[in-house]
Structure 1
Amino acid sequence: MSTTEKTDTQVLVVGAGPTGLLLAGDLATAGIDVTLVERRPHGLANMTRAFGVHARTLEQLDARGLADELLATGTTLDRARLFGRLDLDLTRLPSRFNHLLVTPQYEVERLLERRAATAGVTFRYDMELRALHQDADTVTAELTGPDGAPLTLTARHLVGADGVRSAVRTALNLPFPGGSVIRSIVLADVRLTEEPADAFSVNGSDDSFAFLAPFGDGWYRVMGWSRTRQVPDTEPVDLDEIREITRRALGTDLGMHDPRWISRFHSDERQVPSYRVGRVLLAGDAAHVHSPAGGQGMNTGLQDAANLSWKLTAVLRGDAPDPEALLDSYQSERHPVGAAVLRTSGALVRLAMAHTPLTRAARSLAARLLSTVRPAATRAMGMISGIGIAYAPPAGARRPAGRRAPDARLREGRLYELLREGEFVLIAPEGGPPALPDTAPVSPERLVRATWTDPARRTSVLVRPDGYVQWVSR
């Protein structure tokens, strides 16, 4: 793009859910001009089914100085019991956040919106995307406001983070292959008369399944499904239906009462073939949607945003030696993760729905395997929590390039505290690091430099802003 061509904003983000808010906040913190548009009016409650924040997402929020504040809004679970016999010990996760945080999605959005606004993001609520066009230099978005008045905005790049019914994906004419995996799921936030035996429970009977998790403030999230009650999403749902499903699946409804929210929905398994079309990129539910089993939806979208934000920043700053290759790496790194989440969440929900003797035997076998074979349980917890996700190393790099960087204690502080600068962190032995490879998408002037606490360590490690290893010295 020529330096004289004017745009309204450098990056236009469509969708002010968790994914769009984290992305916009990252870009604005890095000095990028960002406009975020959202079709909902500002302040409208966004009650959704997302309620769990996994370990890797908490690490990403820690790198933005938000994790500890978010932890105070909910309750942490160290263990999860599935199918009445599988007990997952989350304390074995190799993370400062070796647990699952149960907190409503709106708490995540509240912190991310505050951060984005403080960083200077321009918000435009009650604004709907109607069409978009792009050329070699810009993206043009045609929008309408609350009064129906048209508005046109141009940007260097546009990111669609506008959910499963993405207007951005529709405007690109991209397919969204897949289908419904489960219909007529009921969901509610309730209070209980009886204390549950397990803080987090998932179980099923021949014709029903349910799970229950605490928010930590006296409210519980309950979700259920009944094979005998398959009705459209528009069919009313009441507490009696949720009680009956819970009794059949868990053996008791624990005296649930006073629901603050009840809904019915269906769950799809879908993934767009390409997360990038020219200057337009997709993230979160706009790119992939899957069953709620495992609670990975919001978490996967937030990690999409963390992966994409530093890459867009490097391109717009002129730090990327090969901008096209760097943006293409968003697809090559995150598309396989989205596909893996579809597989694991789909497997979990199918196990929960098991009703024939063969499928129930398979569920028992899977539970026994994960209970007795520690590497299998570790791998499963690593995938669900995000801790075990790794990317292919850059060309010519050696392992552990591409892997998640642990939160090392350094002379200057914890690694994830240093990542709060939003820049690459170079960890080196005392005496100075070697020269960085020319392919590293980072300006040496912006590096955060750190030193190992152990003087015997002689390697140098370059950590990306999203907490993954970019390069290791030989």
Structure 2
Amino acid sequence: MDASVIVVGAGPSGLMLAGELRLAGIDVIVLDRLSGRTGESRGIGFTTRTMEVFDQRGLLSRFGDLETGTFAHFGGVPLDLGVLGPGHRAARSVPQSVTETVLENWASELGADIRRGQEFRSLEDHGDSVEIRVRKGSGERVLRCRYLVGCDGGRSSVRKAAGFDFPGTEATTELFLADIRGVELEQRLISERPANGMVMTADLGNGIHRIIVSEHGAPPQRRTEPPAFSEVADAWKRLTGIDISHAEPVWVSAFGDATRQVTEYRRGRVLLAGDSAHVHLPAGGQGMNTSIQDSVNLGWKLAAVLRGTAHASLLDTYHDERHEVGRRLLLNTQAQSLLILGGQEVQPLRSVLAELVQYDQAARHLAAKAGGLDIRYEVGRGTHPLLGMRMPRLELSVAGRDTSSTALLRAGRGVLLDLEDNPHLRGRAAAWDDRVDIVTARAEEVPPASPLDGTGALLLRPDGHIAWIAPGSHHDLPTALERWFGPAR
């Protein structure tokens, strides 16, 4: 084998997956057809959930001082993430190029083998391994791995070569996106729309503005190259009356509102993550964030199967959990597409939705979607409201040292958190201590209204989701340990 895992695509999902696998000691090769990073920045921020994910791996500080805020939107209807409680903030104006640099450095430090200028051509799944053909320059070579993961975007070559079904709807319109410098533009929100289209601006700093422009009735184009900036400038002038043709384009792109999702995230030894598995209108920046979270869900499961501590059926839970997340993502981006791209005929719907978000319950529901905070996995029956949810940050004292539940997940292992110094509980988990950290801790200042009030113990998966909680789970601890971490040692 050339590697246990080969990942095709060095974007955010591929690099995140490589880092997760290396945390678990799995050898991984990342292939990318481009010779270097593009510098393009389709995604420009993080949802609250992605910030939590980065924090649990110690990555958040690598981004420096992040500009954060509680503003979000659903189809252009403003939302305040603060309705979810303190600490729920999103990061703005982080170019995707910066995200890729941080993730590539992290994965490389952990030992990932990242190979650029190597294009995936074909694959053969032999049942116990995957053989792929790769082109580098004018030559080709064959690489073998135990599992292949396609993280190569919406036009995924891996998805096509493996024969995944990719049903959905074709694009109905085309939108332009450009980062430009040399022109001053006032901020325009999606809600501030001209009569015959949609325009938006965002200040990215360093004299760069991002603009998005869509004209009603603009048909989708089958492009093999990015549009000329003159097309973008002309559309901008038609909609706003402002001439930006003298601006310097940093990069220009076109995209549509196609909506598709594969019917399965795994076929044998080939898996998909990120845009390879789902494409949609990039409303609210959810695409990159969901892609990163796909990889965090997959990484520890794939590693456990490769180490032999878990059965290959654990990989089926990757499809079960993330396909449903992707389905709901497509549903909410389709709804937002109607609100964003629709004309005056949609204005009554926008007005009614703006009224509804004045009610706390409706605002919390949509804010949780916008922040990626509404995800609950099926981990077993129980009554506790946090079972299957991601563990909220809890400040802890362990052996007199201050730490947190977030910091305990840095190593990418499972964590059994004993909050009552219960030796019987720890004894029942001892046979899994080669893959689960058993930690006795004291919780610091749990608010009485917190769902963690009265909690005695929690089992955390490596991705931070709660797999068992006491009291509140209807199954016992060994059952949960075996389900997620394999048979006892």
- When normalised by structure 1's length, the TM-score is 0.87
CA distance in 1, matches of 2:122, 2:101: 29
- The residue matched to 1:62 in structure 2 has which SS? helix
Q: Is the 8 A contact 2:148 2:270 kept in 1?
A: yes
Specify whether residues 439 and 386 from structure 1 end up closer, same or farther in structure 2 by C-alpha distance, changes over 3 A only. Answer: farther
Using the TM superposition, give the Cα deviation of residue 12 of structure 1 relative to its aligned residue in structure 2, in angstroms: 1.1
Calculate the aligned-residue CA RMSD, in Å. 2.9
Per-residue displacement from partner, 1:208-247 (whole Å, max 9, x unpaired)? 0122223243322211100154462455342532532662
From 307, 323, 330, the equivalent of 1:342 is: 330
1:203 maps to amino acid: E
Equivalent positions of 1:444-463 (< 5 A) are 444=434, 446-447=436-437, 449-453=439-443, 457=454, 459-463=456-460
Equivalent positions of 1:4-153 (< 5 A) are 7-41=1-35, 43-72=36-65, 75-80=67-72, 86-94=77-85, 96=87, 98-149=89-140, 151-153=141-143
2:138 maps to amino acid: D
Aligned length: 456
Q: Is the 8 A contact 2:150 2:276 kept in 1?
A: yes
From 247, 262, 265, the equivalent of 1:272 is: 262
Specify whether residues 173 and 82 from structure 1 end up closer, same or farther in structure 2 by C-alpha distance, changes over 3 A only. Answer: closer
Using the TM superposition, give the Cα deviation of residue 388 of structure 1 relative to its aligned residue in structure 2, in angstroms: 1.8
Comparing 280-289 with 89-98, which one deviates more in the overlay? 89-98
- Ranges in structure 1 where 5+ consecutive residues have no aligned partner: 1-6
Matched, 1:365 2:356: no
Q: Is the 8 A contact 1:8 1:153 kept in 2?
A: yes
Specify whether residues 185 and 343 from structure 1 end up closer, same or farther in structure 2 by C-alpha distance, changes over 3 A only. Answer: same
- The residue matched to 2:406 in structure 1 has which SS? helix
CA distance in 2, matches of 1:422, 1:153: 28
Comparing 75-84 with 262-271, which one deviates more in the overlay? 75-84
Identity %: 35
Using the TM superposition, give the Cα deviation of residue 324 of structure 1 relative to its aligned residue in structure 2, in angstroms: 3.0
Matched, 1:168 2:158: yes
- The residue matched to 2:51 in structure 1 has which SS? helix
2:348 maps to amino acid: A
Per-residue displacement from partner, 1:29-66 (whole Å, max 9, x unpaired)? 2111111111111x242414222211111111111211
Equivalent positions of 1:178-327 (< 5 A) are 178-191=168-181, 196=186, 201-230=190-219, 232=221, 233=223, 236-238=228-230, 240-244=233-237, 247=240, 257-320=247-310, 323-327=311-315
- The residue matched to 2:58 in structure 1 has which SS? coil
- Ranges in structure 2 where 5+ consecutive residues have no aligned partner: 446-452, 472-489
Residue 386 (structure 1) aligns with? 372
Per-residue displacement from partner, 1:164-197 (whole Å, max 9, x unpaired)? 1111111111121123344321111134865746
Per-residue displacement from partner, 1:388-437 (whole Å, max 9, x unpaired)? 21112236796532111101111141211221111112211242365479
Per-residue displacement from partner, 1:290-342 (whole Å, max 9, x unpaired)? 1011211101100000000011122122222xx23311000100001101111
Residue 342 (structure 2) aligns with? 354
Residue 401 (structure 1) aligns with? 387
- The residue matched to 1:393 in structure 2 has which SS? coil
Using the TM superposition, give the Cα deviation of residue 145 of structure 1 relative to its aligned residue in structure 2, in angstroms: 1.6
Using the TM superposition, give the Cα deviation of residue 21 of structure 1 relative to its aligned residue in structure 2, in angstroms: 0.2
Residue 3 (structure 1) aligns with? none
Comparing 180-189 with 346-355, which one deviates more in the overlay? 180-189
- When normalised by structure 2's length, the TM-score is 0.85
CA distance in 1, matches of 2:290, 2:199: 23
1:283 maps to amino acid: A
CA distance in 2, matches of 1:292, 1:458: 39
CA distance in 1, matches of 2:421, 2:69: 43
Specify whether residues 194 and 434 from structure 1 end up closer, same or farther in structure 2 by C-alpha distance, changes over 3 A only. Answer: farther
Matched, 1:472 2:463: no
- The residue matched to 1:406 in structure 2 has which SS? coil
CA distance in 2, matches of 1:256, 1:87: 32
CA distance in 1, matches of 2:233, 2:29: 45
2:326 maps to amino acid: G
